[in-house]
Amino acid sequence: MTAPSAATTHKGDAIEVNVGLGDRAYDVVIGRGLLASLGERVARLRPGAKVVIVTDATVAKYHLAATQAALKGMSAEPVIVPAGESTKSFAMLDKVCGAVIGARIERGDLVVALGGGVVGDLAGFAASVVRRGVDFVQVPTTLLAQVDSSVGGKTGINTAHGKNLVGAFHQPILVIADTALLDTLPEREFRAGYAEVVKYGLLGDREFFEWLEVNWRDVFKGGPARGNTAAPREYAVRKSVEAKAEIVRRDERETGDRMLLNLGHTFGHAFEAAAGFSDRLLHGEAVGLGMALAFEFSARRGLIPQAEADRAIRHLAEVGLPTHIKDVPGTFALDTLMDLIAQDKKVTRGALTFILVRGIGASFVTRDVEAAEVRAFLAEKLS
């Protein structure tokens, strides 16, 4: 495997990946059974802090009691929001901000985001604006959140115009990626999260992609360690976090290299928004579909051999992710998709920005894609 640039250490059964952002650096701690250490780790970072735990109704049933127990001796009030992408809204932001203020959280206190990407984005955004910014800790409970959305400080909510169009960069002070929490995850949610794992291989690490081709079933099962090699699930999480941490270190505010992390997202976000941010198409499923379209579009432009694109798409399909528009229930309108793509965050002075590929593990950012070319490509796929 490619040697990581992110600083990684092993402390007992825990893997610690440092996100190197100077005086705002923080650790992503990976391993099984780490939730119990949350209180001790928080106390070291912010002695005497009060805590508000933001979580959703589904996660609360499984993990809220254990989280409160881990924070024993600390004031830790829960705020429970509905589960689902529709929770990333102005109404829920108002609710969470009100609850944090009502709990008398001050600048030296903490918000803990206990949940998947929706909770992390919402709680992190609330933390960024309450009292002009309070610290927060991410405790991601989904694979997608552990390998992607909990790391890097992007927070936000959705609007009728598109996904994550209102938000802020606000780095956590700690991420606890307890892989045991993934044991309660429905298979569909785990599969959706895997899209963000394989993304790291497809965008910049061919060797990791090839490892996933062989070992993805053990990542799903959570198989045991193999000799001196970490268990496949923990290894996949570590490799993903290392990749993201290194890109964030180089480009925190997404002005250059960090855009590569959006491989599949320009197409994917449009389909996700057109599906109403609903269970019809989960975020990771949208990313999987978007990556398949990005590889197909790259092949169409002569950037990558069709056989190479087919290999990437074949793996996405093998794990059960949608790779064709027909794999998603219902229909999509071409005009709606194009309007949403035109509203994408990566649009610059009206020019579309796409992440395309010259091979597996060789992505790049381009702004030379004409809307008419995208429209013709999607029209063909929709037909």
The amino acid at residue 185 is L
Strands 51-56, 110-115: parallel, antiparallel or unpaired by DSSP?
Answer: parallel
What is the architecture, at CATH level 2, of domain 7-184? 3-Layer(aba) Sandwich (3.40)
Helix runs in 166-224, H state only:
187-204, 206-221
Structure tokens at 98: 């009100």
Question: Which structure tokens are listed for 181?
Answer: 């929490």
Distance CA(153)–CA(326), nearest Å, equals 34
pLDDT tens digits, the chain, 383 residues: what are they? 444 556 788 776 799 999 999 999 999 999 999 999 999 999 999 999 999 999 999 999 999 999 999 998 898 999 999 999 999 999 999 999 999 999 999 999 999 999 999 999 999 999 999 999 999 999 999 999 999 999 999 999 999 888 899 999 999 999 999 999 999 999 999 999 999 999 999 999 999 999 999 999 999 998 777 666 679 999 999 999 999 999 999 989 887 889 999 999 999 999 999 999 899 999 999 999 999 999 999 999 999 999 999 999 999 999 999 999 999 999 999 999 999 998 876 666 667 889 999 999 999 999 989 999 999 999 999 99
Question: What is the total residue count of the chain?
Answer: 383
Q: Please state the pTM of the whole predicted model.
A: 0.92
Q: Which two three-digit tokens encode residue 377? A: 């490509």
Domain boundaries, the chain: 7-184, 187-382
Architecture of domain 187-382: Up-down Bundle (1.20)
Cβ contact 134:54 at 8 Å: no
The residues carrying an active-site annotation are 132, 154, 196, 244, 254, 258, 262, 265, 269, 283
- pLDDT per residue as tens digits for the range 317-338: 999 999 999 999 999 999 999 9
Report the DSSP pairing between strands 26-31 and 14-19: antiparallel
